[in-house]
Amino acid sequence: MMRATTSPLALASKTEMNAAVEEAWEAVGESFEQFCLIAGLSSLTQMLDEDAHTLAGAPHARAGDKPGYRWGHTKGRLGFHGGKIELKRPRIRSKTTGRELPLPSWSEARKAGWLEQWAMNLMLINVSTRRFGRAVRLPEAGVCAKAGAGLSKSAVSRRFKALTEARLAEWMASDLSPLDLLVIQIDGLHLDDNLLMIGAVGIDIAGGKHPLGVVEGATENAATVQALLDNLVERGLDPAICRLFIVDGAKALTKAIRRTFGADIPIQRCQVHKARNITERIDPRLHATVRRALRQAWEIGDAEKAERLLRNLARRLEGDAPGVSRSILEGLDEILTVTRLGLPPELRRSLASTNIIESMHAVIRQVCRNVKRWRDARMALRWTAAGMLEAAKSFRRLKAYKQLPILKTALQSHRSPADALCVDPTQEAA
């Protein structure tokens, strides 16, 4: 039989409740479940009070324009982790029928899985990123009281693992074919020295951004990237459609992309990474000059002129920094892809770097920062996927989204149907 627990905080004042939340927050590093329970109770209590005010007005006040009137309080039970928690809630009766009016927040809180979803979101959003104000206002949040049966720290951990495993599996099997994706960014994120996550983000014709998938590996090699691309294709990403790929410059990425989507697929190498790699290897006194030359090349709308500027820069650096000179020339075609496609300046700036996926990585790092040790790659995958989906909640439409039809036309012109999947034989042999 499930055990019920009544929380002393259910009878506390709002001031006492807020103080308890603050106290629990200070101790969150030592007791996550305590914070989760108390903060949840505070949220649900506030929501119930707001419902009661909407239906019956303020306590001890006559509200003639309200459909109900207050009728004391009653105890109610909520299921959580196989147990029951007991809370005190307001009662409201109808002025016309005399029957009790349901409180929307309480009705929602009683739905199966609601509290579990709250706990997971609290852990991801609040505990990791310290955005407490947002956490207590989540639309799916409702929450719990003091621990009852099945609310140990290990039980919370097991439930979180199960929820994130299910979420990961569902996401990695989702159908991509309905998405009209024009752009795909791929980049790796090191969680530790021997653990690398490689993720993909897509941009559709309307400028919407979508996390697409993630795989784990020790290094950013072709096999690891290929596993990610194979997953995307299996889920409906048509390799015959020409899209723009944006990468940081890793040869393994380029190799796997061309093998999967065709030798002529347009690949844009991140200009931010390129500029950083160049300036880090030259005399600091040359930084301003080199950055100015690179910026001029990036911003010019003529690909041939831009290439000449970069070749001139390489020649000027050949004597003092031959390695840097070679670096400028390496991947020259890919660094100017958005220019060769004839895109307008604003759209070029939006698509010339991996900034979108880099911003997602920042959220993943926040989500994962409280993990002291990765037990295995599967654990890292769960947390990374949860971070990607959390980042997606705050994704904004691409700044230059109104110009994306220009990109679509350029991509269609770049590849004719006869050219689709024309794989480089040397790469295929490799």
Kindly report, residue by residue over 358-396, the tens digit of the pLDDT.
Answer: 999 998 888 787 777 888 888 888 888 888 888 888 899
Model confidence at 152: pLDDT above 50: no
pLDDT value of residue 425: 39
Does 182 lie in the same domain as 164? Answer: no
Q: What is the 3 state secondary structure string of 325-362?
A: HHHHHCCHHHHCHHHHCCCCHHHHHHHCCCHHHHHHHH
Whether 304 maps to a domain, the answer reads no
Instruction: Looking at the structure, tell me whether residues 148 and 188 fall in a common domain.
Output: no
Percent of the chain with pLDDT over 90: 39
Q: Which amino acid is it at 138?
A: L
The answer to the question of residue 60 being in a domain is: yes
User: 132 or 231, which is more confident?
Assistant: 231
Please indicate, yes or no, if residue 202 is contained in any of the structural domains.
yes
Residues in the chain: 430
**Whether residues 126 and 224 fall in one domain:** no
How distant is the alpha carbon of residue 327 from its chain centre? 32
Domain C-terminal end among 170, 195, 215:
170
Confidence (pLDDT) at 89: 87
| Pairwise CA distance, residues 279 & 267, whole Å | 23
Say whether both 133 and 223 belong to one domain.
no
CATH of the domain at 367: 3.30.420.10
Query: Which strand (E) or helix (H) includes residue 186?
Result: strand 181-192
pTM, whole model, 2 decimals?
0.67
Q: What is the mean predicted confidence (pLDDT) over 68-96?
A: 80
Q: Are residues 74 and 156 in the same domain?
A: yes
Give domain status of residue 274, yes or no. Answer: no
Q: Report the largest interatomic distance among the alpha carbons of the chain, rounded to a whole angstrom.
A: 92
Domain identity same for 239 and 120: no
Backbone φ and ψ of 350, nearest 5°: -70, -30
The predicted pLDDT at position 334 comes to 93
| Domain total of the chain | 2
Assess whether 160 and 218 both reside in one domain.
no
Please tell me whether residues 160 and 221 are part of one structural domain.
Answer: no
The boundaries of the domain holding residue 218 are 176-266+341-429
> Is residue 165 within 8 Å of residue 153, measured between CB atoms?
no
Three-state secondary-structure class, residue 267: strand
pLDDT band at 178 (very low <50, low <70, confident <90, very high): very high
Q: State how far the Cα of 363 lies from the Cα of 367, in Å rounded to an integer.
A: 6
315 lies in a domain?
A: no
Task: Assess whether 139 and 206 both reside in one domain.
Answer: no
Question: Mean pLDDT score of the chain, rounded to an integer?
Answer: 78
What does R_g of the chain's alpha carbons equal in angstroms?
28
Determine the pLDDT at residue 135: 35
Residue 60 neighbours by CB under 8 Å, 6+ apart: none
Q: Rounded to whole angstroms, how far apart are CA atoms 137 and 252?
A: 43
